[in-house]
Chains A and B, each alone.
Chain A
Amino acid sequence: MKTIQVQAPGLLTTVQDLGRPGFGPIGVSPSGAADPISLRIGNRLVANKEGAAALEMMLLGGTFVFPEGAILALTGSDFGATLDDVRVNLGASAEARPGQTLRLGPTSSGARCYLCVQGGIAVKPFLGSASTHILSGLGGFEGRPLRKGDVLRIGRSSKRFRSRKIAAQVSERLYARKVLRVTPGTQADWFSEPSLRAFYGGTYRVGEQSNRMGLRLEGAVISQRGPREMITEGVSLGAIQVPAGGSPIILFVEQQTTGGYPKIANVISADLHRVGQLRPRDELRFDRVTFDAARSLLVEQERMLASRELILE
């Protein structure tokens, strides 16, 4: 069986797949890759199923040894990877010979890089998924971010190495924009006109306190029309809630499942993967679209991801 030895874990490296939806009634949020599109593409580059488990690294990557070799691909943001000192291209399959070392450094673009290996990362599934839920210490590898000395098992696979890469124009279309498109939130009409104008007209900065549970935003303070009592209700992925202080928070993959703060907007499905690439101090704006437009954008994106032109062989 093939393995990965963790020589250095990086800043926050976790096992992730496409998450575990369906357990909201017991308070479990789906978790899963912060940038699921990069995970899906990475898995296709190494001939895995789209949702195979991979390593998600944040801001600073780790150092990994492949004692038995591996077929791998890096997707998402560029962490300056080398395999025994030879540069590894982002968005392309590569082969590590037995004993080779993959080194990643700090990001030179977005927040997250995915390391996909052929066969996937083999961990015991929790509620049907390999994803790590950091807060509850469940799923993934021992329910926690990786540490130096960890040894991960790679799933069985006997496919031969094939050179594959993502079409360049696809990456550009998926990640170019610094604008998040949103639909109106459940309590959008609770906010004052000037606040709504400030929210849509202004620029926000991602706060340092951001993580997989939520991204705290710094910028124009949002106020409600008047005091109104909110009854706790279910919160959707990408909901932008505004607590009493008026600074918005984007609820993300490891979000709480219910909440008692009003929501001004919600990031559209087609842009959620880009939330996963936002770094602390990144600036962003919000663009309002209709529910119909949001759906069309998702359909169009999925069509592009399913197209033959996505991966060049």
Chain B
Amino acid sequence: MQTAQTDGVRFQPASDQSLLIYLGEQITPDAHQRVRKLLRLLEQKPIAGVRDLNPAYCSILVSFDALQLSHAKLEEALRGYIHRLDALRIPKGREREIPTCYGGDFGPDLNEIARLHALTPAQVIQLHASVTYTVYFLGFVPGFAYLGELPEGLATPRLDSPRRSTPPGSVGIAGNQTGVYPFSTPGGWRLIGRTPIAMFRPDRKAMSFLAIGDRVRFTPISAAQFAALDRR
């Protein structure tokens, strides 16, 4: 398999119509910034023949029309963008708040997480709501934001067997990440609460409530506040 390394960048064909570009080999703020910058450049000045972009922690999958582009041509075009990344300044992410009703039916795994970490459920809530998270990228399903990182002492492995379905708005944790399920999907993240905010709004211009690079805080709310805010 052809791989190449220059400027801390690695290219790897993923299929005959897609190429992965790795901008780092570990989840770091630096790799994230480079992903954000390259995504922005590719959105502002698209490469002819590119069909789709899938950003992640330290890579972007670039899908292309194989009748129009090849891996080699695309790699060459991408290299033209790479050397501009360091000088590029992009705005800080927006501040976003996710009101969350923790525990009870909304957070069926809260007590178990507390037990695993020898904390009280109230302490788990307090910890989860104590930090500002970064949206590393949106992926998996429409509007699903990968948020990191959890405060130390809250990181928990995924469920051994995923749930068949998780209600929309469920707030979960997995490893040292946290996130909100926008739709009812199967899922292995441990659920600690639920937000009344719609994470994906097809009737709005900005369909996803969160965007890559946003700074996010969870705010504990009561069941009564949840009911008042819930317009689903």
B146 at interface, CB cutoff 8 A: yes
Pair A236/B15 contact, Cβ less than 8 Å: yes
Pair A234/B67 contact, Cβ less than 8 Å: no
Pair B143/A27 contact, Cβ less than 8 Å: yes
Q: Which residues of B contact A26 (CB under 8 A)?
A: 138, 142-143, 200, 207-208
A231 at interface, CB cutoff 8 A: yes
> How many angstroms between the C-alpha atoms of A136 and B12 in the bound complex?
30
Q: Which residues of A contact B208 (CB under 8 A)?
A: 26-27
Q: Which of B48-56, B86-94, B109-117, B124-132 is the interface stretch? A: B48-56
| Closest chain A residue to B71, Cβ basis | A291
CB-CB under 8 A for A235 and B54, given A25-B138, A27-B208, A135-B141? yes
A131 at interface, CB cutoff 8 A: no
B80 at interface, CB cutoff 8 A: no
> How many angstroms between the C-alpha atoms of A63 and B141 in the bound complex?
32
A126 at interface, CB cutoff 8 A: yes
Pair B67/A298 contact, Cβ less than 8 Å: yes
Pair B138/A27 contact, Cβ less than 8 Å: yes
Pair B14/A21 contact, Cβ less than 8 Å: no
Q: Which of B57-65, B98-106, B215-223 is the interface stretch? A: B57-65
Q: Interface readout for A109-121 with B: 1 if CB under 8 Å, 0 if not?
A: 0000000000000
Q: Which residues of B contact A137 (CB under 8 A)?
A: 183
User: Number of B interface residues, CB 8 Å?
Assistant: 46
Q: Which residues of B contact A28 (CB under 8 A)?
A: 142
CB-CB under 8 A for A236 and B56, given A27-B144, A231-B26? no
| Closest chain A residue to B18, Cβ basis | A236
Pair B15/A237 contact, Cβ less than 8 Å: yes
Q: Which residues of A contact B58 (CB under 8 A)?
A: 231
B212 at interface, CB cutoff 8 A: yes
Pair B14/A257 contact, Cβ less than 8 Å: no
A residues neighboring B (CB under 8 Å): 21-28, 30, 126, 133, 135-138, 183-186, 188-189, 231-239, 256-259, 263, 266-269, 291, 294-295, 298-299, 302
CB-CB under 8 A for A269 and B142, given A234-B55, A258-B54? no
Pair B61/A233 contact, Cβ less than 8 Å: yes
> How many angstroms between the C-alpha atoms of A185 and B141 in the bound complex?
22
Pair A263/B140 contact, Cβ less than 8 Å: no
Pair A258/B139 contact, Cβ less than 8 Å: yes
Pair A27/B139 contact, Cβ less than 8 Å: yes
Q: Would you list which residues of chain B between 5 and 37 have a CB under 8 Å from chain A?
A: 12-18, 20, 26-27
Contact with A232, one of B13, B56, B71, B141 (Cβ below 8 angstroms): B56
| Closest chain A residue to B207, Cβ basis | A26
For residue A210, give the distance in angstroms from its CB to the closest CB of chain B: 14
Pair A257/B54 contact, Cβ less than 8 Å: yes
> How many angstroms between the C-alpha atoms of A27 and B39 in the bound complex?
14
Pair B141/A183 contact, Cβ less than 8 Å: no
For residue A273, give the distance in angstroms from its CB to the closest CB of chain B: 14
For residue A18, give the distance in angstroms from its CB to the closest CB of chain B: 11
B residues neighboring A (CB under 8 Å): 1, 12-18, 20, 26-27, 39, 43, 51-61, 63, 66-67, 70-71, 137-144, 146, 182-183, 185, 200, 202, 207-208, 212
> How many angstroms between the C-alpha atoms of A268 and B20 in the bound complex?
16
Pair B63/A21 contact, Cβ less than 8 Å: yes
Pair B52/A23 contact, Cβ less than 8 Å: yes
> How many angstroms between the C-alpha atoms of A291 and B70 in the bound complex?
10
For residue B218, give the distance in angstroms from its CB to the closest CB of chain A: 20
Among the interface residues B14, B27, B207, which one has the most CB atoms of the partner chain A within 10 A? B14
Q: Which residues of A contact B140 (CB under 8 A)?
A: 27, 256-259
Among the interface residues A28, A185, A189, A266, which one has the most CB atoms of the partner chain B within 10 A? A28
> How many angstroms between the C-alpha atoms of A24 and B212 in the bound complex?
12
Pair A233/B57 contact, Cβ less than 8 Å: yes
Contact with A269, one of B66, B182, B183, B202 (Cβ below 8 angstroms): B66
| Closest chain B residue to A290, Cβ basis | B16
For residue B45, give the distance in angstroms from its CB to the closest CB of chain A: 15
Contact with A126, one of B39, B66, B143, B202 (Cβ below 8 angstroms): B202
Pair B141/A24 contact, Cβ less than 8 Å: no
> How many angstroms between the C-alpha atoms of A222 and B182 in the bound complex?
32
Pair B51/A21 contact, Cβ less than 8 Å: yes
Q: Which residues of B contact A21 (CB under 8 A)?
A: 51-52, 63
For residue B29, give the distance in angstroms from its CB to the closest CB of chain A: 15
> How many angstroms between the C-alpha atoms of A133 and B143 in the bound complex?
14
| Closest chain A residue to B136, Cβ basis | A232
CB-CB under 8 A for A186 and B20, given A25-B53, A25-B212? yes
For residue B3, give the distance in angstroms from its CB to the closest CB of chain A: 10
CB-CB under 8 A for A234 and B142, given A26-B207, A269-B17, A269-B66? no
> How many angstroms between the C-alpha atoms of A256 and B212 in the bound complex?
17
> How many angstroms between the C-alpha atoms of A20 and B212 in the bound complex?
20
